[in-house]
A and B are shown apart, each in its own frame.
Chain A
Amino acid sequence: MPFTDIAVAVQISFTYFTVFYLTGLGGLFSERSGIVNIGLEGLMIVGTVTGAFGVRFFTDTVGLGSVWGPILGLLFGALCGAIFAGVHAVATITFRVDHIVSGVVINLVAIGLARFLSSAFFNGQSTQSDPGGPHLARLDIPGLSALPGGLDRAFEGLSPMVIVAALMVIPVWYSLNRLRWGLRLRSCGENPEATRSLGVSVPLYRYQGVLLSGAFAGLSGAFLAAEIIGNWREGQTLGLGFIALAALIISNWNPIRLMFFAWLFGFAFAIPLRLQDAPVISLLPEQFIRMIPYIVTIVAIAGFVGRVRPPAAAGRAYEGAGGS
């Protein structure tokens, strides 16, 4: 089958796309409201440990079965992400702490918190949980999974969450552009003074933005741990949260563009996993192949910046040591 390798790589890329897109959407809501959130990685970490616990808990302990168990487990991860994001929200919105500082603290604390929760959830194991946790049944996309030449592999065996993630673009776009809520949220990010002068509460909308970012990032982490890897392990987020942030920046904070870049970076990750034997790539040492996605990100960021325009209030924070 000539295209099997590529097809499987594409399949893997869909998985990573889900992670990047969900996390990126989280970042989107936060930053469009004016709060820079580089703690996405930390929020994902919280999602991984709580999600891994949640799916097991709801499936086995509560006995909800293999459909509702994983679903509630994933939602549990999202909820915990949102709660943890509350810390970032309180720090940056109520106490006006520098956004980047708070984000870094979130990342640091998340690591310790994850170990803490892990030893509580998983019988004292502080760096991983038992493998083989429950997950949602895999789908094949009708029609596309009958393609010849090995291409069908790209569309088989996908987690339903991939579809969910892809469909997210619709409610996200609609709420931002067609709802009063979205208009107000965006104005908080573009010009909080103008927003305030019209009687709209800027903190209210920013809190919502940040909590949503926690929910999405938590969901993404839960997905990673529960659906893809099958258990929780320390460090499994691998900097993916930061790559999602980079994808968000390059896509100019646009949910539709983000789909493309989330997938593109996803594919970059699939390369070391599946395409190690491809023509040029196989010449590189193994560890260098693993560097590819990160190098791709740097090249993309270095190439695209100057042509992206952050939400004005968030942009000030990106310029360093400041923020509103």
Chain B
Amino acid sequence: MSAQGMASPITVPRARPAWLESFVGQLLALLASFGIALLIGSLLILAYGENPIEVYRSIFDASLGSADGLGYVFAIATPLIFSALAVSVCFKGGMFNIGVEGQYLVAMIAAAVAELNLDFLPGFLLVPAVLLAAMFGGMIWAAIPAVLKVKRGAHEVVTTIMLNAIALSLVGWALNGPLKYNDAPEGAFVDLRSNVFPDKGLVGDLGSVFGVTPGAHLSWLVFLAIAAAIIVWFLIRRTRLGYEARAVGSSPGSAKAGGVSIGSTQIRLFLISGALAGLIGMQQILADRGYLPLNYVPLLGFLGIGVAFLGQNNPIGIIFAAILWGILSRGEVALQISSQVPREFIIILQGVLILTVVIIYQIARRRLAARQLQQAGMAGELGDSDAPEESAGPRGPEDTGAEALEPVEEKRI
């Protein structure tokens, strides 16, 4: 079998490893999208008659300009990291866990129950027990849509969203009923909440170590979040489960033909996702409030989806994306103080950022795929290349071999 494509041997340029290609490319893409988002944002700022540079400067000052600011940034990022990790784990397996929100709520209920009933345990056992209870709560709530999907084919987008709404009511019921506080002095008016957790069951403040105000509620949970990201990375890239998950997410037919059990893989992924989602609320109730409030922070689950895509579903990327998100969120404070631009500008900016990132990554990935194919074409053979001959249908004139990769590339996250 010989078949050279061209008359003379082609010198193949010394191959750069694929990961480098994509890493540099991805970094450029990230910077480009950030720039574009800021640009779009400045249009809005100008509409308010203000100077974009001033506004952006005050935003970044509030978050990066002081130790306090950084403390807030990391405190905001911590739950988002857990949330985004939860979403990305399922996504690797080709599924959308939009139920992170509900899993987070149920986990908080479980954690509250543990706090208030296991308070006989010493502190160094209580806190891990509470964390485990939270993870367990999240897993249970994630198990429901997972089983419905695998056994009944119910699409997880709809079931998880319904479960989110149910979880919302569940929290309301719990706080109005079994978990309702009874530790407030007679006649005092208190926002609806659970009993205050024992001190030894709380997570210590990290801020004092770095000169950050305790008001930021920076706790060592941030290390747990980073550790979780590393563990998830390891799980996806270096274990059987991660391997099978990626196969199922990308090519379920081939995975099945290779003996992988799709249903079992999907359920396991959902459970891991639920466990991660369970940790979202810990920053709030163990480091910040010290009890389960009715006015907990909403939407952390949904925001996790945004952060996951901002970080391209990559655990390390997610850490950076969460920090970036925290920087912008913290900047809201600056807007309130020194600008006419309403604070809601920030969330619009964040939304625009997600869109530009996703779009630009899409473009960058396709360029990369085209280039990979080209390099492969030069080192390979003429003749039985799939791209030009076996395309299944009409292709437009602008489509080269890269088009053959397209349906594949869209799944590659």
Contacts and interface: CB of A to CB of B under 8 A. Distances in A.
Contacts of A322: 94, 407, 410-411
B345 interface: yes
Contact of A119 (B165, B342, B358, B413): B342
Contacts of A104: 98, 302, 305-306, 309
A323 B303 CA distance: 23
Contacts of A116: 342, 344-345, 347-348
A320 interface: yes
User: Which of B166, B249, B393 has the most CB atoms of chain A within a 10 A radius of its CB?
Assistant: B166
Contact of A323 (B157, B176, B410): B410
Where chain B touches its partner, the secondary structure class is helix
A46 interface: no
Where chain A touches its partner, the secondary structure class is helix
Contact of A287 (B173, B351, B362, B411): B173
Contacts, number: 160
Interface residues of A, number: 56
Interface residues of B, number: 55
B405 interface: no
Interface stretch (B147-155, B188-196, B208-216, B380-388): B147-155
Contact of A305 (B155, B347, B407): B155
Interface in B128-173: 148, 152-155, 157-159, 161-166, 169-170, 172-173
A196 interface: yes
A242 B162 contact: yes
A113 interface: yes
Nearest to A95: B359
A78 to B, nearest CB: 22
Interface stretch (A213-221, A253-261, A289-297): A289-297
A168 interface: no
A255 to B, nearest CB: 19
Nearest to B170: A287
Nearest to A191: B393
B32 interface: no
Given A301-B155, A302-B159, A115 B176 contact: no
A96 B152 contact: no
Nearest to A113: B348
B169 A302 contact: no
A111 B347 contact: yes
B407 A324 contact: yes
Interface of A: 38, 87, 91, 95-98, 100-102, 104-105, 107-109, 111-113, 115-116, 119-120, 126, 193-194, 196-197, 238-239, 242-243, 245-246, 249, 285-288, 290-291, 294-295, 297-298, 301-303, 305-306, 318-324
17 contacts: A91-B358, A98-B410, A104-B305, A108-B306, A109-B347, A111-B299, A116-B344, A239-B161, A243-B162, A285-B173, A288-B169, A291-B166, A294-B166, A297-B162, A305-B152, A306-B152, A320-B249
